[in-house]
Chains A and B, each alone.
Chain A
Amino acid sequence: MGQKGSKIKITEQDKAVLQLKQSKDSIHKYTRRTSSLIDEERQQLKSLIKENPKTYKQNTKVRFILKRIHYQEHLLDQASDQLVNLENMLSNIEFKLVEKQFFQGLQNGNVILTKLNKEFKNIDDIMDDVQEQIAYQSEIDETLAQHVSGVNNYEDEIDKELDVMELEIEGKKETNVIEQIPEMPSIDKLPELKDATKKEGTLHEPQREKGRQEPALLA
């Protein structure tokens, strides 16, 4: 039984409510008993009046019973008032418990909300971090790209130097050689794909110009 009982908790409020209800029950019992007593005495009174229709007013027993009835009724009134008070108290407690639940709900919601907000703060940090990382990554990319282009330039430079050496050997001017090289394959091999060749041409051009400038700088 202990195991089964422990499944459902009995709180302090439950115990308090139980005590209130016990007193409410005993008052309820009392009012029922008293009202049935009053009924009985009324019946008794009526029969007494019937028995002596003329002299009943002088009968002390009749007067006594009527007084008793009045007194019992007075007590009954009091008991009913008390009962109402107890019932009010019980419903107040009940309502307070509901309010408590409502309050707890609000509190819990607030706790969760602040917790979530805190988590979002962390996320801000992370976002900053990510931003930094992205910036760093693009820096790396840039550096790498520069490096790669540097290598290309270096290769170009070597090409140029070789060209210069070739010119020196063959006695020709370098500008003629450079302009002839890109035009020859684009016209002969791919005549239909004009757009593609144009694009290729535009792509190649800056490199070529760079290539042209490089030696000038060197010189």
Chain B
Amino acid sequence: MSLPAIYSFPPLYTRQPNAIIRNKQIDSWINILLQYSKIEKIWELDSNGIFLPNEINLFENNTINRSVNNTFIKEILDRMKSDHQIIYNNNNETNTFFILWKNLDSWASLILEWFETTNKLNQVVTFYEISSGDESINWEFHSMPSYLISKILQILVKRGRATILKDEYNKDIAIKVV
């Protein structure tokens, strides 16, 4: 995918001393990260801002021979954390984040829309069907990690629209939306 022109602009990679300019700089970075993850359908990144699972590092630009140092990456990620654009993946031991180019509520609404348009209300639907089933291929949440899906579906449960079903190991695996 083609990244925005600013991605090839060397000063973007150096932490700007002026707070106002730095804010804009961070905005640009967040914009790049969200755009990229949305188009490439990337759901996770590690604490150094490297996209998983293919270890794509946007903070290192070999064409212009520039990279962002770790402290500034931390600053950018902290901003994203406080704006809920990334959330901790507390499913595993490793320190990774889910990247949300849509906030959790919008995702929940979109999944609900899928349930309604594909007539899946009042039926048991597994998380696998939502993320990898043939019926969700053309939806934005297709290929979403199942742990993130279960996190989003909790919102539907809180809204009183759904209930979660567990497997024999007490793991959330399916949902029934009404």
Residues of A in contact with B (beta carbons under 8 Å apart): 1, 4-5, 7-8, 10, 14-15, 17-18, 21-22, 25, 28-29, 32, 94
**A76 → chain B closest CB, angstroms:** 16
Flag if B129 contacts A21 (CB, 8 Å).
yes
| A18 adjacent to B126 (CB under 8 Å) | yes
Q: Is B167 an interface position by the 8 A CB rule?
A: yes
Interface contacts beyond A5-B163, A18-B173, A29-B132: sample of 12 additional A-B pairs, CB < 8 Å, sorted by A: A4-B157, A4-B160, A7-B160, A8-B163, A8-B176, A17-B124, A21-B125, A21-B174, A22-B167, A25-B128, A25-B129, A29-B128
Q: Indicate if the CB atoms of B160 and A21 lie closer than 8 Å.
A: no
Establish whether residues B163 and A7, one from each chain, have CB atoms under 8 Å apart when the complex forms. Answer: yes
Contacting residue for A21 out of B126, B163, B178, CB 8 A: B126
Is B123 engaged at the interface, CB distance under 8 Å to the other chain? yes
Nearest CB in chain A: distance from B60 CB, A = 29
Which A residues lie within 8 Å of B178 (CB)? Answer: 8
Are B163 and A10 in contact, CB atoms less than 8 angstroms apart? yes
Known: A14-B176, A22-B167, A22-B173. A8 touches B126 (CB 8 A): no
B147–chain A nearest beta-carbon distance, Å? 16
Known: A4-B163, A8-B162, A17-B123. A28 touches B174 (CB 8 A): no
Could you list 26 A-B pairs, sorted by A, with CB under 8 Å? A4-B160, A5-B157, A5-B164, A7-B160, A8-B176, A10-B163, A10-B165, A14-B124, A15-B165, A17-B124, A18-B124, A18-B126, A18-B173, A21-B124, A21-B129, A21-B174, A22-B173, A25-B126, A25-B128, A25-B129, A28-B128, A28-B134, A29-B128, A29-B132, A32-B132, A94-B123
Flag if A10 contacts B176 (CB, 8 Å).
yes
In whole angstroms, what is the CA distance A7 to B129 when docked? 24
Q: Which residues of B contact A29 (CB under 8 A)?
A: 128, 132
B124: chain A residues at CB < 8 Å are: 14, 17-18, 21
CA of A119 to CA of B178 in the docked complex: distance in angstroms? 37
Does chain A have a CB within 8 A of B133? Answer: yes
Say how far B163's CB is from chain A's closest CB, in angstroms: 4
A17 to B133, CA, bound (A): 16
Residues of B within 8 A of A25 (CB): 126, 128-129, 132-133
Which of B128, B133, B158, B167 has the most chain A CB atoms inside 10 A of its CB? B128
CA distance A15 to B168 in the complex (A): 11
Q: Is the CB of B165 within 8 A of A14?
A: yes
Contacts of A4 in B (CB 8 A): 157-158, 160, 163
* Cβ–Cβ < 8 Å partners of B128 in chain A: 25, 28-29
Give the 4 A-B CB pairs with smallest separation, nearest first: A8-B163, A25-B128, A17-B124, A18-B124
Contacts of B134 in A (CB 8 A): 28
Residues of chain A within 8 A (CB-CB) of B125 are 21
A4 to B175, CA, bound (A): 13
Residues of B contacting A5 with CB < 8 Å?
157, 163-164
CB contacts under 8 Å to A, within B126-178, are: 126, 128-129, 132-134, 157-158, 160, 162-165, 167, 173-174, 176, 178
List of B residues within 8 angstroms of A7 by Cβ: 160, 163
- Contact across chains for B133 and A28 when beta carbons are under 8 A apart: yes
Instruction: Find out whether the CB atom of A18 lies under 8 angstroms from the CB atom of B132.
Output: no
Contacting residues, chain A, for B132 (C-beta < 8 A): 25, 28-29, 32
Give Cα A1–Cα B134 distance, bound, in whole angstroms.
30
Does B126 lie within 8 Å of A22, measured CB to CB?
A: yes
Q: Which of B157, B160, B162, B174 contacts A18 (CB 8 A)?
A: B174
**Chain B residues whose C-beta falls within 8 Å of the C-beta of A21 in the assembled complex:** 124-126, 129, 174
Query: How distant is the Cα of A6 from the Cα of B128 in the complex, in angstroms?
Result: 24
In the docked arrangement, what's the CA distance between A10 and B125, Å? 12
